[in-house]
Amino acid sequence: MLTNTPPSAPTTPAPDSQLAVAEALMSLLRDTTTEPRPDIQLEALTLAVSADLPVLLWGEPGIGKTAALTQLAASLDLPLTTVIASVHEPSDFSGLPIVGDDPAEQGVPMAPPDWAVRLVRAGKGLLFLDELSTAPPAVQAALLRLVLERRIGALQLPPGVRIVAAANPRSSAADGWELSPPLANRFVHLQWTHDHEVVVRGLAGTWPRATLPRLDPEKLPEAVDFARRAVCGLLSARPTLVHRLPTTETRRGGPWPSPRSWDMTLNLIAFATAAGSSREVLSLLVRGTVGDGPGLELLASLDRMDLPDPEDLLADPANAVLPERGDLRQAALDGVVAAVRTRPDRARWDAAWALLVRALETGAPDLVVVPATTLASVRQEDWDVPAAIEHLAGVVSLSQRADRAADRVARVGAKAGR
């Protein structure tokens, strides 16, 4: 016999099971992976970390500075210790005085905070000083010894600890302060911006992988020699760049040249050379250490160090290898003409013309106009005009006609504007 069984009432999940489901969902959301992906910001950061130099990431709130540091620590297998500088007292970084059994005999030791003790016990770690631009001047002063000497009270942090900080510009920081010049000069400053493709791919579950640069053991002596020649060569020619404290408070809180920051720059050039880093990465690091102006001068001098010797080019113009980049090729040709003007003779003059013809055949014609015009002025009366000039005459004539046409257009425009 069939009986009508009333339907059972729906069961309501227990609160703890709902929390378990929520935790499972959050676990899936946190389940992301990484992939090798070119990222000059990340490469510059890992290079500075590898060189054991303190790094300061500047960026607007929510740009991903903290997330990048968390992923970096995980990739390098370093325990991450985050310290919000603005919520600490100066004594938290300089050490708390602890009275012992006999202060007159033993003195009063400065006890370090618990997070510093944990770093020493671990022997390695990534110390992340977050919200640095909200730290008041007294706290910034207490941080000086920590950032430079790695000391907190009587405690010395082990060599395996790296220091990275993050800050928001004063305009977007909560009760923000400008960084003091002594503290700012201890950091490599990197501007942290977002890449649309990186963000989209990361939100889809795949972020760029942070890895330490691979240093070539065979390049280490060469890298050190190159870095020393680069920095010392520039400072010998430009002694005013050795120490230049900016005049405005805002710029003093960023990168600026000093003996300390030049030493950091030298280390970064050596590491970038040994790692084979790109010019873009080196540019971020150099300008983030000594500032844009001195940094760009140094980068330009690095380019000149790679230029071929003018005497080598004059010795064998037929097989000369000229730089591919236009500005470097122009500099190489100017160097050849300057060498001929310094020590002029007929053979060197002819070799320089042959070299300009080779440059014309292998690169942009406009790059030879100025060197050719200057070289022509070096000719002495008893020197016959070389056949090579025939190849360049058309280029120089065309350039001169273009200059005259541009002058006429400018004059007409000036009259029309009156």
Reported as a single tens digit per residue, the pLDDT across 43-65 is 999 999 999 999 999 988 888 78
CA distance 376 to 361: 19
Sign of torsion, CA 195 199 205 207?
A: positive
Q: What is the pLDDT of residues 213-270, one digit of tens each?
A: 899 999 999 999 999 999 998 998 889 999 999 988 889 999 999 999 999 999 999 9
- Judge contact between 40 and 280, C-beta under 8 A: yes
% of the chain beyond a pLDDT of 70: 84
More confident residue, 187 or 326: 187
H/E stretch holding 356 reads helix 346-362
H/E stretch holding 29 reads helix 15-30
Residue 309 three-state SS: coil
Sign of torsion, CA 139 142 144 147?
A: negative
Which distant-in-sequence residues (6+ apart) come within 8 Å of 354 by Cβ? 317, 318, 386, 388
Q: Is the pLDDT of residue 395 over 70?
A: no
Residue 63 three-state SS: coil
Q: Is the pLDDT of residue 112 over 70?
A: yes
The residue to which tokens 């960084």 are assigned: 179
Mean pLDDT of 397-401: 46
Report how far apart, in Å, the C-alpha atoms of 294 and of each of 24, 186, 335 are. 53, 17, 23
- Considering only 55-59, 174-178, 296-300, which range has the smallest mean pLDDT? 174-178
Supply the DSSP symbol for 123.
S
Beta bridge mates, 127: 81, 163
Residue 165 three-state SS: strand
How would you classify the pairing of strands 124-130 and 80-84? parallel
H/E stretch holding 97 reads strand 96-97
Q: Is the pLDDT of residue 125 over 90?
A: yes
State the virtual CA torsion across 112, 114, 120, 123 in degrees, nearest 10.
-160
State the virtual CA torsion across 49, 53, 59, 64 in degrees, nearest 10.
20
Q: Is the pLDDT of residue 283 over 60?
A: yes
Supply the DSSP symbol for 389.
H
Residue 280: the pLDDT is: 94
Q: Is the pLDDT of residue 38 over 90?
A: no
- Judge contact between 144 and 186, C-beta under 8 A: yes
- Judge contact between 109 and 100, C-beta under 8 A: yes
Residue 107 three-state SS: coil
Burial class (CB in 10 A: 0-12, 13-18, 19+), 278: middle
Q: Is the pLDDT of residue 406 over 50?
A: no
Q: Tokens in use for 241? A: 């760049």
The residue to which tokens 């009156």 are assigned: 418
Longest Cα–Cα distance of the chain, Å, equals: 132
Q: What confidence tier does 399 reach under pLDDT thresholds 50, 70, 90?
A: very low
Closest CA to 142 of 90, 179, 181: 90
- Considering only 136-140, 202-206, 285-289, which range has the smallest mean pLDDT? 202-206
Mean pLDDT of 151-161: 88
Beta bridge mates, 165: 56, 129
Q: Is the pLDDT of residue 389 over 90?
A: no
Residue 83 three-state SS: strand
Which distant-in-sequence residues (6+ apart) come within 8 Å of 192 by Cβ? 41, 57, 58, 59, 63, 64, 65, 68, 166
Residue 409: the pLDDT is: 46
Q: Is the pLDDT of residue 301 over 50?
A: yes
Query: Whole-number mean pLDDT of the chain?
Result: 83
CA distance 213 to 275: 6
Q: What confidence tier does 187 reach under pLDDT thresholds 50, 70, 90?
A: very high
